Structure 1
Amino acid sequence: MDLMELIATRHSVRDYLPDPIPEEILEQILEAGRLAPSARNRQPWRYIVFTSNDDIKELSLRCGLIGLSNIFIRKAPCLIVACADTNYNVRINHQDYYLVDTAISVQQMVLTAWSYGIGSCWIAAFSEKTLKKYLQLPDSWRIVALLPLGYPAEKKTLYTQALSVFPKSKNRLPLDKIVTYYHKRSS
């Protein structure tokens, strides 16, 4: 699969087969995140990897009230908690870059996973305070996202079907709505 096909076919997966992700593939996914660019090469990302279904189920109960909408993560054979250590943040023009840097790293993992046929779903619905306490994270760490990973199940649950309709996630704005070409005016 070429890069544009990989980007075009990637979608949020919420139903997973129980099959574990082979260790060498998981390592490649994490390596893709490690190789991401970051402001001043500070590399603020930190990852906590869960591969035990019992541990993933327990974590799913520790995401706070808002996190209850993510019950599907309980069936993922792998879950990555994507964090950023703000001690490695770069601030430019009053803008913190740890979120941008970590997001780039996570996206590289998402695309690498998909290249192996492994689905994912970027999750932001969780109580950072509750989850941070459960994981006993340092004060300088921020939780940026949860990333369940697994081979997609063919049959979607009713819950997943409903979630897929709600955001209309396949709809994309055309280029002419999001791109403006700058042309310097002649004097």
Structure 2
Amino acid sequence: MQPFFMAIIDIIRSRRSVRSYKPDPLTEDQIKAILHAGMLAPSAHNHQPWNFIVITNRDAINRLSMSVQGYLGDKLSASDAISYFGSQERVDRVKKRLELKEDTVFYGAPCVVMVVVDKANLEYGPIDCGMAAENMCLYAREQGIASCIIGYARHASREELIRVGMKESQELMFGMVFGYSDQMDGDPDRDFNKIQKWQK
């Protein structure tokens, strides 16, 4: 697929969190370019705390997915499930996903990226990594590649995370997935009334 070029505001407006992927793999050069965009992000004192673990091996992705699904299954059966997931609607949605018995965490994407930082960088590292992640998502969009940030990846077992390359001295911030979309882009509602106060 050839990349298409867009104005930055159009990229921002059209980016979507995609939750269904074609199996077609990305090339190593495509993945490296996405990671490079992340590494161009600003960070506190230019500390650049992010480290990326790239996973394209399907067995490894499935192991991580099953690990997270086990955690979510336990949460669904707990008495405070609605409190944890936020609403009965979300409880039902997660339950339905888990019943599919597929990669319901990473949505079948061919490329998973785990974003990790050293434990010593946990004060500002999450902010820095968030900026790096948005760079990656926007660059991917500009290249015709879909993406989604996976917060639930934080609940993968530490054993599985270390198995794919995380160090004992590191913590996982979140996961990300990249690939070619297998769904129609939606048009989610946006609430633009979020300027709480403008002190003049």
User: Which residue in the other structure is 2:169 paired with?
Assistant: 140
Q: Are 1:118 and 2:145 counterparts?
A: yes
Q: 2:119 aligns with which of 86, 90, 97?
A: 86
TM-score by length of 1: 0.77
User: Which residue in the other structure is 2:46 paired with?
Assistant: 41
Structure 1: segments with no counterpart, 5+ residues: 90-95, 157-163
Cα separation, 2, equivalents of 1:40 and 1:126:
28
TM-score by length of 2: 0.73
User: Which residue in the other structure is 1:75 paired with?
Assistant: 108
RMSD value, Cα: 2.4
Cα separation, 1, equivalents of 2:197 and 2:30:
39
Flag the structure with more relative contact order, 1 or 2, with Cα contacts below 8 A and sequence separation at least 6.
2
Off by >4 Å, runs of 4+ in structure 1: 67-70
Contact 2:114/2:176 (8 A) holds in 1: yes
Aligned length: 164
User: Which residue in the other structure is 2:194 paired with?
Assistant: 177
Question: Given the superposition, is the C-alpha separation of residues 150 and 27 from structure 1 closer, same or farther in structure 2, using an over 3 Å criterion?
Answer: same
Q: 1:151 aligns with which of 171, 180, 193?
A: 180
Structure 2: segments with no counterpart, 5+ residues: 1-5, 74-96
- The residue type paired with residue 131 of structure 2 is I
Q: Following TM superposition, by how much is the alpha carbon of 1:74 offset from its aligned partner in structure 2, in angstroms?
A: 5.2
